[in-house]
Structure 1
């Protein structure tokens, strides 16, 4: 440090800034303090013995400068701003195709609010980033140590409780990028090298005077391109200057400032601890961090900083770590970058490598890397600039220098123009050669209007939208998205097989008999013929579990279904495991096999405090279907019994009834005896719903469908419940206490009373006739019919009566009442009557004539004949009425049988002895077919 007097290197710059502050401001204090403070921050960072290398997030200029500096200095220790608990994963990057993200995941939290679970932290890495260059250098160079010094993933959420760190997107992702933008999910992003103004007025000023649309374009034009060819000292000082400027002009939000400063204290504390433990010379180290944190003013800054920061202990949450696929669109959405900016940065990175001929660092064996990248780096160490050169003022010359106007590269721009027209034609645009010429000329015009001699990709994008898109988008991609694809597209990374967690590798191994490339993105069709290849049954089991665990589309069944008690024969699947690789990897954080993960999730669902009996029964069914585990099914069934006993309503009755019926049918056909838990469930449910029935009939919140399902459980499970010791008196008392007022529920009660024998069909029919005959009740009669329709659930024997009631309604209700009710009838049958409609259709097909010609002469069976004493028309038409007398004699000989038949058909009458023929003959005359059938039945063989 003696070579250059402290502070003398930037004295000339300080003098110029002091004069500028005096002339531009009313008073020099405020502006002068900011401008001179920026120079002090740069001077302080440059003089630090441990070299600080400021970077910007996914900046090609930073990556080029990093690769060049690493080959010049050859540091022995590289300190990197990244969560310290992610260090063991970095060596797995060589098994992946970039971009990927390093992830820390905690499914069960301890010490954080339960609503935060699951916790997830991601740090995306691309090849065109300074961070990847440092990682590749450290991992592939013998004797070099890579130390991650940023707060752990656990501390990210500890500090997030009071500090907000989310980045707002400046531009939404383009069409078609929604899927890729969600690769990181709702994870918290670690903003490595984040560099963007937090002062909205400053960003607006820069965009307006820079004649650009968004921040990514401003950075590309005024920082990325000028620094692409600069030397190391100039790059370093300019980045420190920008970081200090943004830091000093940032709004003074206490939470955000506290988090930023705590991160800097944390990192410097970790670096001093490592230096003290290893004895490494600070001059042999390199500290890679964001430019925003490089210009830090905390007391802990530097090798000689204060040791006053205490790192809090981690919480008791168990963290899992792994690699997940990332993409350019996901990075843009995660960190608030403009759509397409990361793709443009990747293209700029490739151009910088050709122009500067800098040899980048790539991990040996990196998937997707060129063979040349695997060559070992040269061992000779170039001369490192001296301290005096490093402290020389490069900012003054850089700030005074006029912007370099790159000459127009006509060949490049012409290639872009031809390619965009070709791509537009493929996407349905009526583009021609004239449009290519127009895009070429408009790009030059826009660049000139923005004081640029060479059009940037953003100028070209605006020109293409203006000249090609015009007024509409014919396909699913607009021109903006087409340009992004043409400039490099949304590259999507992939985690290699060796870097996958054990669960994901096990899934790939078990699905190997399908002979599919499951690592590839996109949809692949799998055909499983278990009849010819029984071993594919195991693949089917895996696919059904994946369908249950992964998001929709990862494993989608096209043909075949999994039902209780059925064995699959053939199945067809659409698989997209490569597209949903992130979801599959995150399953590996929850267990070592998909069976274990599924069992944990079923238990979590069943033992949730908000779980319902229907939800627990669904878990029982899933455990039986997918895991074939009687032990787990019994455990969850016992839990369902506990939950049912605590419910105070009948909201879940329809689902409970449906699942209990299905489980009972399965156990009765597959096992010799019923499991004890389901017997207890039926017994408890019978008493439980008997208790809730009177309240459900009068509760306005209980729907007719729910009350009907309650009755369906009571009537359907009654025989089993009574055999297990239940008392039918409970049900009779429940009906005695039920007094509904709503028409639909009242009709439902009448139907249930018919089932119990408390109400005859004749009386029910007369009640319906009375309702139709009362003008005051006619408008509400459709609501009674809705109740009768729902009554088919507990009393399916009433299907013929429901057909009769609906037919009478269509015949007698006036149009102003009937027509508004029809949509309600259709909606009821569609939503609630999917299982009831077949009963009505089958009964209607039995009652109504099969031909249209017979409809005019058809008389409904529930209507009496106009002439009760006359012979029926069918007898007179066939000329076979002579048999009537024999039938009458038979009925007279068996009066009890005649009375039973009369009660069954709903007729009430008495025997008249004054007539020579018993009065049962009148009934026989009305129903000759029945009388003949009875005669044949009683005559015997």
Structure 2
């Protein structure tokens, strides 16, 4: 054992508590001078020094970092090359370790994700569970990962709580659901900012004051707008090129300060301390199992956790913490693309701060000449040179007395270093922002560039800065360039962010994708597009000339069903039951929605499997309705072409229908059953058993609910019309399967609606059943128009007739007549307010009936404008006194020409009179006299011809 190692174990001058004695004395005197009493402030200040001293004297070196801090990344790279530890303990979820090797196949930034779609042991409304840990190149954790994975003989051990424990402890604290936003009134996030979705973010070094008054005080006296700017000005810049001891002690000081001034939230304090107990317990167990010397290890954690005061802290801490077992939830792991904007949105950072940090990281590397660590083959980065072997003096571990030297006293007494103004850099910024503003439509000129340059220097001087920061430059650019309005889609603030590095968006490489995502890319390869590229790409599929593209079409339609909107959007072509595609055109954005495709891979190994699982989940879910289950049946038939699954889900639809007690889904049920029946009748030799049972059950079910629906205020006219459409269109099939028509007759006998629209719907249904003639229906409508008390409600009757076209389409001519009479006879105060209702009714619920009405109106109304003045509506001709003899004469001539038809109809109606002579005048006249409506109908038919 070396002398340095022996001093760590058996004691050193640093362990006698004298290393920071001078600093303790100064702080004690300051507390006595500036506070009312020495107790409160002295306890905080001296406690901070004790925290720093304790962490510095720990045999296992504690390396405090801040999340995505260039200063932390530079200090980490420098320390790794100096110390060359054999074991790196990293504050990251321990179950994410197998994914870190796949980082070399990605382009940073990306996020390591743990995902659980089916939960066991957590509230069901939390599903799906998702935890992400974003990683950028300008972060200390990436430097540690790259060093450990590419250096032979080095072991990387993740020691933080697992993803399962993240939600276990959240449930114990009674926290809100992970997917529930903290602010329901918050505006929706942009596409890049939503790359992480509703995932819970895990970061190394959540170093920010939890005491709101403290943060407000720092921002006010620092003359900055937000926390990211304060950190950049007062921490990043001073520590960017500091030595290791100064960096470590300052970060420990900040972590201890924020920790001691944090509000005493018991739940949050318990979670923080449990994380620290968990990490130290894992490290001690690993040291005991591997026999590694703590002096050859490095513990990378957030500065907030480095200044811990739990009893388990340190190699010689107490072993009293019990790690609870994970829940029964099944977790999947993968890498998802991330971006600077997504990291800023998830962790509450200022917009553009991560991009500025990346720029600062590049500057620090150039200024300090430190070679960073990069994974071999890392996409989007230059190949790093192999690190040189350290000399013998550097390989020996430092003694604790050297590491524990008091660097804080000198750092805190040292005046701020005035970085000289880099005029060339500032001038380049000013010229570039004017050029970018011109491209975005601003009327910027060279004078604006000069104004931005001078204003940046002016703002920096007003804020006691010798050199303008990127935030000063951003304020100056907004002041000088952005006037009253933004001519393009990007404002000056966004242009500055892009100029400083932009929102870099990561990408997961093909080799790091889950099997489902790779399968999708392989099956879409015949299209010939770069599917991993971000943005929208147009794909043209001509299945007539290239039949192999039909399989690509199948994949695209399934992706459209499973993926978020915009991933696969059909421009030309549609998929219907019983039809085969010929040509299609698609807009694809798989690269933009790569995260959703990766999460899809957590649910299965193929998109067919995932689609089947989701259809079953929808059909057997607690919120399943008959309409949703029938939609699942249609999707299974359309996309999977699975008769087995369709029959299973159809049986489930029959079960759900039998338990429903409302008619909310009747319109959708009617449409889907009609489509499925038409498909099975044309493609199958016989109807499936489930759909026959569905028609029988549905007929009895809707007959039972019909009287209640007519009087229920919650049941709309469209829903009742859909019920009648089901009963009338399925009646022949239902009767052939054994249903009794008496059920329908009893249902109508018990129906007594009071609402005008439903009453009109009932009249139309009675016409279809033969319980009411058209003459009687027309007389009722005339009576309504003639009653001044009922005239204001007449449009509601017309709405009922419009919805009646669904169950009784043969009433189209009568609906045209009723609407025409309304326009002719209703007063303007009644007619004009009703017109918007008519339009919305036709647009929302009568889209399928509009062509029928237009076709019928085209048949009835004259085709030329000149014929309109002499035109008489057919319904007025039928009611004129001369109409009946003329109708009888035409009907007699028609019956004479077709005596067999007349004999058949006479026999059906019970007329036994025989023909006398060649002309059937007596029997025809008798038939016309008994049935004048038939004569009028024939006359109208002949007139139309």
* TM-score, structure 1 as length reference: 0.93
Aligned match of 1:91: 101
Superposition deviation, residue 601 in structure 1: 0.4
Cα distance, 1:759 vs structure 2: 1.1
What does the per-residue CA deviation read over 1:523-558, in whole Å, with 9 as the maximum and x for residues that have no partner?
111110000000000000000000111101111111
In 1, the alpha carbon distance for the partners of 2:871 and 2:938 equals: 18
Please tell me the root mean square deviation across aligned C-alpha atoms, in Å: 3.0
1:15-34 CA-to-partner distances (Å, cap 9, x unmatched) read 00000100111111000000
Which of 437, 446, 452 in structure 2 is aligned with 1:424?
437
1:378 pairs with 2:406: no
Q: Check conservation: 2:15, 2:57, Cα contact below 8 A.
A: no
Equivalent position of 2:359 in the other structure: 347
Pair 527,919 (structure 1): closer, same or farther in 2 beyond 3 Å: closer
Q: How many Å apart are 1:162 and its aligned residue?
A: 3.7
Q: Using the alignment, how far apart are the partners of 1:761 and 1:897 within structure 2?
A: 25
- In structure 2, the partner of 1:284 is 296
Preserved CA contact (<8 Å) 1:892 1:920: no
Q: Which residue of 2 aligns with 1:691?
A: 704
- Alignment gaps of 5+ in structure 1: 876-880, 904-912
* 1:31 paired to 2:41: yes
**2:641 equivalent to 1:628:** yes
Partner of 1:178: 190
Distance 2:234 2:877 in 1: 96
Q: CA deviation at 1:843?
A: 0.8
Cα gap change, 1:227 to 1:868, in 2 (>3 Å): same
Whole-Å separation in 2 of the counterparts to 1:678 and 1:175: 46
For 2:459, the equivalent position in structure 1 comes to 446
Contact 1:171 1:336 in 2 (8 A): no
Q: Could you say if the C-alpha distance between residues 572 and 11 of structure 1 is closer, same or farther in structure 2, counting changes exceeding 3 Å?
A: same
CA distance in 2: counterparts of 1:349 and 1:490, whole angstroms: 15
Give matches, 1:12-23, under 5 Å.
12-23=22-33
Match of 2:567 in 1: 554
Aligned mates of 1:870, 1:308 — CA distance in 2: 105
Q: 1:332 maps to what in 2?
A: 344
Residue of 133, 139, 144 corresponding to 1:123: 133
CA distance in 2, matches of 1:867, 1:161: 81
User: Alignment partner for residue 19 of structure 2, among 9, 14, 27?
Assistant: 9
Secondary structure of 1:131 counterpart: helix
Post-superposition Cα deviations, 1:44-81, rounded to whole Å, max 9, x if no partner, equal 00000000000000000000000000000010100000
2:3 matched to which residue of 1? Answer: none
**Change beyond 3 A, Cα 1:457–1:107:** same
Cα gap change, 1:250/1:932 in structure 2, threshold over 3 Å: closer, same or farther?
A: closer
Distance in 2 of aligned mates of 1:24 and 1:525: 70
- 1:801 Cα deviation from its structure 2 partner: 1.0
Cα distance in 1 for partners of 2:272, 2:805 equals: 67
Contact 1:344-1:488 within 8 A present in 2 as well: yes
The one of 81, 88, 94 equivalent to 1:78 is 88
Instruction: Note the 1:513-532 alignment, pairs <5 A.
Output: 513-532=526-545
Verify: 1:743 aligned to 2:756, yes or no: yes
Structure 2 unaligned residues grouped into runs of 5+: 1-10, 910-920
Matches within 5 A, 1:425-504: 425-504=438-517
Q: 1:228 aligns with which of 240, 250, 256?
A: 240
How many Å separate the matches in 1 of 2:771 and 2:14? Answer: 109
- 2:211 pairs with one of 158, 176, 199: 199
Q: Say which SS state the counterpart of residue 123 (structure 1) adopts.
A: strand
Is 2:397 the counterpart of 1:387? no
Query: What SS is found at the alignment partner of 2:866?
Result: coil
Q: Deviations over 1:91-144 (max 9, x none)?
A: 000000000000000000000000000000000000000000000000011110
Equivalents in 2 of 1:588, 1:606: separation in Å? 22
Distance 1:377 1:136 in 2: 16
Aligned residue number for residue 114 of structure 1 = 124
Distance 1:147 1:478 in 2: 45
Q: 1:170 to 1:245 in 2, by over 3 A?
A: farther
C-alpha contact (below 8 Å) 2:67/2:302 kept by paired residues: yes
1:101–1:324 CA contact under 8 A, matched in 2: yes
Which of 715, 726, 745 does residue 732 from structure 1 map onto?
Answer: 745
> Does residue 1:868 correspond to 2:878, yes or no?
no
Q: CA deviation at 1:812?
A: 1.4
- Which position in structure 2 is the counterpart of 1:139? 149
Structure 1 residues 601-640: aligned runs within 5 Å: 601-640=614-653
* 1:68 counterpart SS class: helix
Q: Distance in 1 between matches of 2:894 and 2:20?
A: 127
Aligned ranges 1:202-213 → 2 under 5 Å: 202-213=214-225
Deviations 1:383-427 (A, max 9, x none): 254322111100000000000010000000000000000000000
| Cα distance, 1:774 vs structure 2 | 1.4
Contact 1:888-1:924 within 8 A present in 2 as well: no
Pairwise CA distance, 1:776:
1.3
Residues 438-478 of structure 1: per-residue CA shift (max 9 Å, x gap): 00000000001111111100000000000000221111110
Partner deviation per Cα, 1:318-370 (whole Å, 9 max, x = no partner): 00000000000000011111000000000000000010000100001111110
Report if the CA contact (8 A) 1:772-1:781 is conserved: yes
Deviation per residue, 1:680-712 (Å, 9 max, x gap): 111100000000001000100000000000000
CA distance in 2, matches of 1:132, 1:524: 33
Q: Secondary structure at the match of 1:339?
A: coil
The answer to whether residue 600 in structure 2 is matched with residue 592 in structure 1 is: no
Distance of 1:34 and 1:722 partners within structure 2: 87
